[in-house]
């Protein structure tokens, strides 16, 4: 790939750029980025990563083989409307805008195009994202392999069908917040039973890290691992009984289902808005 273009220079764009440059996938000057108004942000990205900040869409997209759409969903219509006259046949569009379907993107740019939708999460900032990729029928195998390699620089990658992206959003897209919520409860409880704040934090973090590593490296299911820790009449059993009493597992399942449904609802509403506004501009 000769040139990558980023429409948007926010935290997710930075995480991807950081991964690309750290792994040497492409030379930094071959990466171009622009955003709407924040010149200070562009200067920071240029100085930090050695990439090229540009001021107009024509310059950004000219010669780019891959175009990353890294803006908020509400800004997709404006961004793609500004870009569509400068897009070239054969360019690959990679969208990290949650809820914006390939059909919406094709409608705005008024052409069939190779499009990959990516759903990373905020752990991309430290190279630990769980990213799902969905490619449409126009994406060539080599293009998909290249984008897969790019997202591997910021974590794990899983291929999914586009209709599964709402489920991905509910599970791993929002997932870090669920873990933080659990950590918050663990730290509060530790303080209430007499541990110092720093001790509570250190023990909570290491406990979560250790459990995650066990899940990753062991062939055993979470259920088996849990049972191995839970001795009859012991302390863990006493704690688990309280979780069961309060229906915590059912609550987590319902939480993820609701987050997935909300992703679907937001996507449908956004699609209707984009289709309506796009048609009205024609």
Q: Which domains does the chain have, with CATH numbers?
A: 4-165 (3.40.50.720), 173-258 (1.10.3730.10)
Length of the chain: 282
User: How many Cα atoms within 13 Å fall on the side-chain side of residue 266?
Assistant: 18
| Predicted pLDDT of residue 132 | 97
| Alpha-carbon distances, residue 117 vs 86, 90, 99, 126, 239 (angstroms) | 20, 17, 10, 21, 41
| Predicted pLDDT of residue 241 | 97
Band of pLDDT at residue 36, cut at 50, 70 and 90: confident
Q: What is the mean pLDDT of residues 157-166?
A: 96
Average pLDDT, the chain: 94
Tally Cβ neighbours within 10 Å of residue 188.
12
Band of pLDDT at residue 277, cut at 50, 70 and 90: confident
Measured in degrees and rounded to the nearest 5, phi and psi for residue 32 equal -115, 150
Q: How far apart are the C-alpha atoms of 201 and 203, rounded to whole Å?
A: 6
Q: Which contacts (CB < 8 Å, 24+ apart) does range 248-255 have?
A: 252/178, 255/178
Q: How far apart are the C-alpha atoms of 96 and 90, rounded to whole Å?
A: 19
């Amino acid at each position: 790939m000769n040139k990558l273009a980023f429409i948007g220079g926010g935290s997710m764009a930075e995480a991807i750029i950081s991964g690309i440059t750290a792994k040497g996938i492409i030379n930094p000057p071959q990466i171009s980025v622009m955003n709407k108004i924040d010149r200070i942000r562009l200067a920071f990205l240029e100085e930090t990563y050695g990439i090229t900040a540009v001021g107009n869409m024509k310059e950004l997209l000219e010669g780019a083989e891959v175009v990353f759409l890294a803006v908020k969903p509400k800004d997709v219509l404006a961004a793609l409307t500004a870009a569509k006259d400068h897009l070239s046949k054969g360019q690959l569009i990679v969208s990290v805008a949650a809820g914006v379907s390939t059909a919406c993107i094709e409608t705005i740019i008024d052409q069939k195009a190779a499009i990959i939708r990516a759903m990373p999460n905020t752990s991309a900032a430290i190279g630990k994202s769980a990213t799902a990729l969905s490619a449409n029928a126009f994406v060539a195998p080599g293009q998909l392999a290249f984008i897969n390699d790019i997202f591997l620089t910021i974590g794990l990658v899983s291929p999914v069908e586009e209709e599964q992206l709402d489920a991905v959003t509910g599970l791993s897209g929002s997932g870090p917040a669920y873990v933080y919520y659990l950590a918050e409860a663990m730290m509060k409880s530790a303080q209430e039973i007499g541990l110092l704040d720093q001790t509570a934090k250190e023990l909570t973090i290491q406990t979560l890290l250790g459990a995650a590593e066990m899940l990753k490296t062991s062939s055993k299911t979470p259920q088996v691992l849990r049972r191995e820790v839970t001795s009859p009449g012991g302390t863990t059993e006493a704690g688990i009984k309280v979780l069961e009493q309060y229906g915590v597992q059912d609550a987590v399942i319902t939480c993820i289902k609701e987050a997935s449904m909300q992703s679907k609802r937001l996507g449908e509403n956004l699609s209707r808005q984009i289709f309506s506004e796009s048609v009205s501009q024609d």
